[in-house]
A and B are shown apart, each in its own frame.
Chain A
Amino acid sequence: MSSCAPGCPEYGRVSRRGFLTLAAGALAATTVFGDTVLQTAWSREGAAPAVLVVLSLRGAADGLNLVVPHADPAYWTARPRIAIPKDRLLAADAMFGLHPALAPLLPLWRDGRMAAVHATGLPAPNRSHFSAMEEIEDADPGSPARVGWLNRLVGRDGDTDPLHALHLGGPVPPTALLGPHPVGAAPAVDDIVLAGTDTGGPDDPRVRSLHTVWDGVPGPLGEGVRTAMRMVDDFGPVRATPVTPANGAAYPTSDLGRALAAAARTIRGDVGAEVITVDHGSWDMHADLGTVDRGDLRNMTADLASSLAAFFSDLGPVAEKVTVVTLSEFGRRVRENASMGLDHGHGNVMFLLGAGVKGGRYYGSWPGLTDTAQADLLVTRDYRSVLAEVVSSRFDASPAAVFPGVRLETIGAMAPR
């Protein structure tokens, strides 16, 4: 039961003004999931008809080794030590093939439930992790307001109901969730409790005591405490779901595995989660990126693939409403550096998985690679065109409202609504 009914003044304040306060900043990782952050934005009351999971590969993943352009000769000359051998690629077509560590996702690819879009990114290079992340997640180049595209998505109908927003795994929601709709956060599903209370209900002595102090406190701290107390009330159905993954799904014991297991539990609890974001990484491999069989890139890729595979098997039939999209702030250089790593580049690959995806194939327009020290993978498709297609395919949302001022192109990777 909610400790503050809809219509009370505090309720309205949280819904309209809670924004930057709850959502600002962009803190990654370090609570329960270590280097992985999970956050959830809640839809209006009750069940969500569609769920979007945005998985950010933080630190800028190397898209050229995840989805290898094996028919481009420059790929081979630029990467004498770290290239993925052609005979090891999976699901290869005439141009591309997948890193072999993505093997756990092959069944999804073959079922037509997973696709890749190459040479995507921001229209102009931005090699700063921090400002690129902000630019990518704000996704509204014409406006100085700090409102993220996911906040525009969940707030699309302009209602003043407080969209409950929750962030599992890390302390602070990312820029993409920033905006006028409140966002919550919690380390893990079972931690959404108020210490020292039995029921957490309004008659609990400690709940009353906290309300006495906090109901009148202005600013982000006051709003954070009030939203936390409401969230404890409303999150009950998720806490009641089993901790054990369904359908025998086996997550890796990684931060990403734990975060996606919590995401699956949240979706199954069906309290209206519409958008869940997960930050994974670091993919920032300036040195010792490794080879096809060992090293950081191989290990991270294997973790990514087995976590996502477990997530879809855990969801079972519920997966029919869940779409996953992966995103990095930018890509890496074409040519490997002296430290057997890759410095900051530009274009990258995006993966699409799950509901609505016309999978089993590669999308995008290949610009061709150049093998020079400063050469980047050029961007031929604005990443927002890909996201817009996901948004219009899965939600009753206008892409123009979520990505204002962006010239959107057709990618063709999502089935129309």
Chain B
Amino acid sequence: MHPGFEPAQYDATPLPSTLERLLGNRFGQGWTPALGAAMASAGGARTWFDTQLASGPDRFFETSRGWWPSLTLSAAEIWRRDRDEVQPFWEAGFDHQRWCLARRIHSERPLLETMTDFWENLLHVPAAGEAEAFFRAAYGTGIRKRALGSFAELLRFSTTHPAMGCYLNLATSRKSAPNEDLARELLEVHTVGAGNFTEKDVVDSARILTGYRVDVWGTWAAAYDPGSHWTGAVQVLDFRHDNRAEDGRSVARAYLDHLARHPLTAERIARRLAVRFVADDPSPALVGLLSRTYRAHDTAIAPVLRALVDSAEFRRAAGRKVRLPEEDLVATYRVLGAGLRKPVDTDSAAHVSIWQCEALGLAPFRWPRPDGRPDAAASWTSTARVLQAFQMHLTMAGGWWPTKEIDLRPAASWLPEPTLRFDLLVDHLARSILGSASTSTLLKSACEAVQVEPDTTITSTHRVVRWGMPTLLSVFLDHPAHLTR
């Protein structure tokens, strides 16, 4: 306790339960009072989680899909628009990033968006300026459709999709010299993991996958070409096939199903889920539980997630994950009540959101290597990250950028009553922004930041409201409780 800074309680603003806040921060794109209300009307936080796993209204997804024309165009149409100088093709990849950020901020299916993001990073295809940009939005939308289904289905989808084929060079692989790029990353990154396969496995993995071609930089037609498929006996790990048929699709399917169900894949997915949603160093017991659940349910995802959130380890894990740059940005929009509108030009908030994210260190799906962005605190606590996060928080709290097609709360709206002591205002803001009560440290920090006393009376004309609100809100946004989840 800091002498002279005894925290006050503003009980008119409700406090969430630990589970409500935890589920909101891990699976709800960031707890907000509005999400808390949605959980309450669903019958509680845990019931809300189940309803989120089931299907439900998806209005924002459908609405926002119309915000960027490239999202629903075919690769050939994206290419034609590029040549007609309507939109450079790489902007199609950027549009997908923008759309995903907008959905995370506003969707009524935040858990679905969370799991879509999880799979899009495991089965990573960058959304940048290469051939894969032509297929990137379709790839992401297809992942989303399967994000709460089974991993076996996801793996069949991702491995044979033209976006992945373009990124890791399956699209141009031939039987005369099968390209090993995707064949290797499929084993190392998507399924069994490094150290669990040999170079001979990679060679046969490449042979099995030959045939899924794309006419890159031409028509962009994606089709299976039996003439490109390598035939002959193959063995990868304990998968064997005589692979005699010219059409190798059934071999590829059997191979991918085998990999999806492999115990090493189960272990790897289980660990990755635990690191994403529990802590950087999950216990072997938890990983084992999730791995067994995955195998017992034939790679189905929902039972694994239920086991995860019902584990004691999850319930104890509040605040143990550092927010990624994109999570920080999304949570900041949400908690400040900043609303995106349909973009009209390159200054619109929904358009510049990816540049805000990039300034923090990494925009969605821009990790430059197949292994997907890192997910542990050590990677996201660099001095660069910290300084840029503080910059973004202040800029958003001030409403200084972006300013177009964005709804922002007026400063006075953060004052819940016309007249309020500062220590009570701090508690109201702590409850509204952090979902936790004020502390002596928080109160002292807030007093220092805007240079008032705990008992100072704040009204809508006080300097704290008139020009100090960005600094005051930053006290909460720069707080450990906002930088973690």
Contact = CB atoms under 8 A, between A and B. Distances in A.
A287 B378 contact: no
A391 to B, nearest CB: 25
B445 A213 contact: yes
Interface in A151-208: 166-167, 170-173, 183-187, 191-196, 205-206, 208
A224 B382 contact: yes
B374 A131 contact: no
B385 interface: yes
Nearest to B373: A27
Contact of B322 (A27, A166, A221, A339): A221
B371 interface: yes
Given A205-B451, A209-B475, A22 B184 contact: no
A338 B169 CA distance: 11
Contacts of A29: 368
B382 A339 contact: no
Nearest to B366: A30
Contacts of B382: 22, 167, 171-173, 183-185, 224
Given A206-B449, A286-B180, A343-B179, A30 B362 contact: yes
Contacts of A219: 377
B379 interface: yes
Given A29-B368, A171-B361, A206-B471, A196 B484 contact: no
Contact of B172 (A20, A214, A282, A339): A339
B483 A221 contact: yes
A1 interface: no
A195 B387 contact: yes
A262 to B, nearest CB: 12
Contacts of A187: 359, 361, 384, 388
Nearest to A232: B387
B450 interface: yes
Contact of A31 (B169, B179, B359, B383): B359
B32 interface: no
A2 interface: no
Contacts of B2: 212
B174 interface: yes
Nearest to B395: A195
Nearest to A214: B480
A30 to B, nearest CB: 5
Interface residues of A, number: 71
Nearest to A215: B441
B367 interface: yes
B317 to A, nearest CB: 14
Nearest to A183: B382
Contact of B369 (A28, A209, A210): A28
B478 interface: yes
B179 A172 contact: no
Interface in B365-405: 366-371, 373-374, 376-388, 390-391, 393-395
Given A221-B480, A232-B387, A344-B184, A31 B361 contact: yes
B174 A338 contact: yes
12 contacts: A25-B378, A27-B367, A31-B358, A31-B362, A130-B194, A131-B195, A172-B379, A192-B387, A206-B474, A222-B480, A282-B369, A287-B169
Interface of A: 20-31, 35, 58-59, 127-131, 166-167, 170-173, 183-187, 191-196, 205-206, 208-210, 212-214, 216-217, 219-225, 227-228, 231-232, 281-282, 286-288, 337-339, 341, 343-344, 373-374
Given A31-B384, A287-B169, 20 more contacts: A22-B378, A22-B381, A24-B376, A27-B367, A27-B373, A31-B358, A127-B184, A130-B369, A131-B194, A172-B380, A185-B382, A192-B387, A195-B394, A196-B474, A212-B441, A212-B448, A213-B480, A220-B377, A224-B382, A343-B180
